[in-house]
C-alpha cells in the first residue's frame, strides 16, 4: 500500500529554519531516521520511505508554498495514489507549538498552501496534519512571525515536535486516520 506524504514549505536558503517550513522539517526527520535522502525530481524533492510493508512517498514541493497544488496533483497521478492515502503536513498558527491536529478534510484555515491544493484538486477532501507553531506575535506581525526563524527556546522543542509528527505519519499509514486522530489529537 502506498501513501503520499506532502510536507509544505518554501524552497531557498532564506526560508530554511523558518516556522513556515515545519512540513519540510517533519519529512526530513522521517527520512533521516531511515537514512534515506531526497532526490530533486519534477516539482519537488522526493524520497521513498518504507515502513512495515507500507510505502510512503515523501514530497517537499519546489513550487513554493502558495503553488503547492501543482506538485501534489502531479505526484498523486504519477504514483497512482488515491487522494484518501495522501496526508499534507502543514504549519498552524492557531495551535501552540508542538500541538498536532490531524483531520480527514476541512477548510484551509487561511493557509495559502492548503488553499492552492484544494483549488488544484477541486476539493478539500484530503487529510492534513496541522503542526502548531504558536502565535507569539503582535498586531500585524503574522507574516514576519511565520517566515521568521525559530527562537532558541523553540529550537530546543523542535526535535520532539518533529518526532511526534513523524510517529503520527507512520500511524496514519498503519492503522488509518480515525485511530491516528484518537491517538495524536490530544492536548
Residue 71 pLDDT > 90: yes
**pLDDT grade for 187, boundaries at 50, 70 and 90:** low
Please provide the CATH number assigned to the domain covering 2-184. 3.40.50.1470
| Nearest alpha carbon to residue 105 among 119, 132, 93, 87 | 87
Helix (H) or strand (E) holding 91: strand 86-92
Average pLDDT, stretch 22-49?
A: 95
The predicted pLDDT at position 155 comes to: 93
Total Cβ atoms within 10 A of residue 4: 23
The C-alpha R_g of the chain, in whole angstroms, comes to 15
Q: Which three cell numbers stand for residue 31?
A: 527520512
Rounded CA gap, 99 and 67, in Å?
A: 26
Cα separations in angstroms, 19 against 33, 70, 101, 122, 151: 21, 23, 17, 28, 10
Domain ranges of the chain: 2-184
What's the confidence (pLDDT) of residue 91?
Answer: 95
For range 92-99, the mean pLDDT: 92
**Residues classed as catalytic:** 20
Question: CA dist 69 to 37, 57, 73, 99, 124, Å?
Answer: 23, 16, 6, 25, 11
Work out the mean pLDDT of the chain and round it to a whole number: 94
Q: Which whole number is the average pLDDT over 161-172?
A: 96
Contact 55, 46 (CB under 8 A): no
Residue 117 sits at φ, ψ, to 5 deg, of: -65, -45
Instruction: Give SS3 for 38.
Output: coil
Amino acid at each position: 500500500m502506498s501513501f503520499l506524504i506532502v510536507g509544505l514549505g518554501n524552497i531557498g536558503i532564506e526560508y530554511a529554519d523558518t516556522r513556515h517550513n515545519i512540513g519540510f522539517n517533519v519529512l526530513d526527520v522521517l527520512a533521516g531516521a531511515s537514512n534515506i535522502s531526497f532526490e530533486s525530481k519534477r516539482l519537488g524533492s522526493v524520497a521513498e520511505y518504507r515502513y512495515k510493508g507500507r510505502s510512503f512517498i515523501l514530497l517537499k514541493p519546489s513550487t513554493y508554498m502558495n503553488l503547492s497544488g501543482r506538485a501534489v496533483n502531479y505526484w498523486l497521478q504519477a504514483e497512482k495514489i488515491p487522494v484518501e492515502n495522501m496526508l499534507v503536513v502543514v504549519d498552524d498558527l492557531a495551535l501552540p507549538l508542538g500541538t498536532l491536529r490531524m483531520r480527514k478534510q476541512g477548510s484551509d484555515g487561511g493557509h495559502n498552501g492548503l488553499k492552492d491544493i484544494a483549488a488544484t484538486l477541486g476539493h478539500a477532501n484530503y487529510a492534513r496534519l496541522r503542526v502548531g507553531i504558536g502565535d507569539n506575535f503582535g498586531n500585524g506581525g503574522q507574516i514576519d512571525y511565520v517566515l521568521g526563524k525559530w527562537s532558541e527556546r523553540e529550537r530546543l522543542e523542535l526535535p520532539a515536535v518533529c518526532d511526534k509528527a513523524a510517529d503520527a505519519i507512520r500511524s496514519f499509514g498503519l492503522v488509518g486516520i480515525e485511530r491516528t486522530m484518537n491517538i495524536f489529537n490530544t492536548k
